[in-house]
């Protein structure tokens, strides 16, 4: 009995802090891939050992797989903005980043010492691909009820299973948009993610890649802008109806209808912004001969990257 309880508790905590579900992360990566310059494609191929079974979308979900082996990476996936949605929304690096958060993690990944060995640079790239995705999930930029993890809700009554608001945004909404099962095996995720990425790419017509912020010299400037934009969604939609309403209604109905276009837009933005950053990083690296940071000076190797 004790064992069963411990197992259940472990299972519950494992469920607490995923990023977008795997399908969302894979889609962001496949979408970004479509916008990469030759130089950036080369950089990705140089740093990530891609093969028939490991593609850029596997790189995107890798940081969730190592969370358990590297518990110190857990708080790199979010920033706990202490605010009061739906009445007030705000995120501050100084007040909310505590002992490390998604903003400092992105900064560290972008500013990696390029003299680190390839494996470590590859890991940094995996983290970057993943965190740009997480930064666009509203509940990853929110402290309230641990980013919605503690708000128990219903979503299409999945076998009577209770969900939490966080996983509704990570997984249930994306899966419903794609018309796929609640739970998928890993090898069932790639095809719907590819299709979603293609659809989002086509939605942009022939518009060339344009991200309003691609300043890799000051990664925090862009990431804080995006964090503020994502955080705002908690007031404008995620918590708008109040926690009581959220817990008393099935979120697979009208709530889903309003949330789906927000999720599509966030995944689209994440893919485009990631691509713009990878293109800029690849250009920086080429112009520095691959031995200096974008600023031309050596930057700290990230001590946590073991
Ligand atoms: N744990 C605590 N806050 C969190 C958040 N905003 N997102 C994911 N996991 C968390
Ligand atoms: Zn999550
Ligand atoms: Zn994550």
Residue-wise DSSP of the chain: -HHHHHHHHHHHHHTTT--S-HHHHHHHHHHHHHH--HHHHHHHHHHS---SS--HHHHHHHHHHHTTT-GGGGGGG------BTTTB----HHHH-TT--HHHHHHHHHT--TTS-HHHHHHHHHHHHHHHHHTTSGGGG--TTTTTTT-EEBSTTGGG--EEHHHIIIIIHHHHHHT--SS--GGGTHHHHHHHHHHHHHHTTTPPP--S---TTSHHHHHHHHHHHHHHHIIIIITTT-HHHHHHSBTTTHHHHHHHHHHHHHHHHHHHHHHHHHHHHHHHHHHTTTSS-TTSS-----TT--
Q: Which residues line the pocket of ligand 1, CB cutoff 6 A?
A: 17, 77-78, 80, 139-140, 142, 146-147
Is pLDDT of 76 > 90? yes
Q: Is the peptide bond before 12 cis (omega within 30 degrees of 0)?
A: no
The stretch 171-178 carries a mean pLDDT of: 96
Nearest-atom number in ligand 1 for the CA of 17 is: 9
- Point out the ligand nearest to the CA of residue 168: 2
Give pLDDT, residue 297.
Answer: 35
Give pLDDT, residue 17.
Answer: 43
Categorize the per-residue pLDDT at 116 as very low, low, confident or very high, splitting at 50, 70 and 90: confident
d(CA 175, CA 183): 9
The model's pLDDT over 18-65, given as tens digits with 9 standing for 90+, comes to: 578 899 999 999 999 999 999 999 999 999 988 989 999 999 999 999
d(CA 143, CA 92): 12
Give pLDDT, residue 293.
Answer: 43
Categorize the per-residue pLDDT at 285 as very low, low, confident or very high, splitting at 50, 70 and 90: confident
CA of 11 from ligand 1 middle (Å) equals: 16
Nearest to 138 by CA among 104, 99, 93, 168: 168
CA of 130 from ligand 3 middle (Å) equals: 6
Cβ(20)–Cβ(134) below 8 Å:
yes
CA of 18 from ligand 3 middle (Å) equals: 5
Give the chain's domains with CATH numbers: 7-288 (1.10.575.10)
The model's pLDDT over 227-276, given as tens digits with 9 standing for 90+, comes to: 999 999 999 999 999 999 999 999 999 999 999 999 999 999 999 999 99
The backbone torsions φ and ψ at residue 162, rounded to the nearest 5 degrees and listed phi first, read: -85, 145
What the block records as the tokens of 274 is 């990631």
Nearest-atom number in ligand 1 for the CA of 142 is: 6
For the entire predicted model, the pTM comes to 0.89
Nearest-atom number in ligand 1 for the CA of 137 is: 7
d(CA 224, CA 221): 6
Q: Taking all residues of the chain, what is their mean pLDDT, rounded to a whole number?
A: 87
CA of 148 from ligand 3 middle (Å) equals: 15
Share of the chain above pLDDT 90, in %: 71
Mutation probe of ligand 1 site: the residue of 14, 16, 105 with most atoms within 8 A of C-beta: 16
């Amino acid at each position: 009995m004790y064992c069963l309880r411990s197992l259940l508790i472990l299972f519950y905590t494992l469920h607490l802090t995923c990023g977008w579900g795997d399908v969302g992360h894979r889609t962001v990566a496949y979408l970004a891939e479509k916008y990469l310059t030759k130089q950036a494609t080369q950089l990705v191929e140089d740093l990530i050992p891609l093969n028939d079974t490991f593609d850029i979308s596997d790189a995107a979900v890798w940081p969730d797989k190592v969370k358990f082996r590297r518990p110190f990476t857990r708080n790199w996936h979010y920033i706990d903005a202490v605010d009061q949605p739906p009445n007030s929304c705000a995120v501050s690096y100084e007040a909310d980043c505590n002992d490390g958060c998604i903003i400092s993690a992105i900064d560290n990944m972008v500013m990696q010492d390029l003299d680190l060995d390839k494996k470590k640079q590859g890991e940094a790239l995996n983290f970057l691909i993943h965190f740009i995705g997480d930064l666009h999930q509203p509940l990853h930029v929110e402290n309230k009820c641990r980013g919605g993890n503690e708000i128990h809700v219903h979503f299409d009554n999945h076998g009577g299973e209770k969900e939490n608001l966080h996983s509704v945004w990570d997984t249930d909404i994306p899966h419903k948009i794609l018309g796929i099962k609640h739970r998928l095996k890993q090898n069932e995720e790639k095809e719907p993610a590819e299709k979603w990425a293609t659809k989002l790419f086509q939605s942009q017509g022939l518009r060339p890649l344009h991200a309003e912020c691609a300043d890799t010299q000051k990664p925090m400037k862009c990431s804080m802008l995006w964090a503020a934009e994502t955080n705002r969604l908690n007031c404008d939609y995620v918590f708008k109806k109040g926690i009581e309403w959220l817990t008393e209604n099935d979120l697979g109905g009208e709530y889903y209808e309003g949330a789906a276009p927000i999720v599509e837009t966030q995944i689209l933005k994440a893919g485009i912004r990631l691509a713009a950053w990878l293109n800029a990083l690849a250009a920086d690296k080429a112009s520095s001969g691959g031995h200096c940071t974008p600023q031309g000076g050596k930057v700290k190797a990230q001590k946590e990257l073991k």
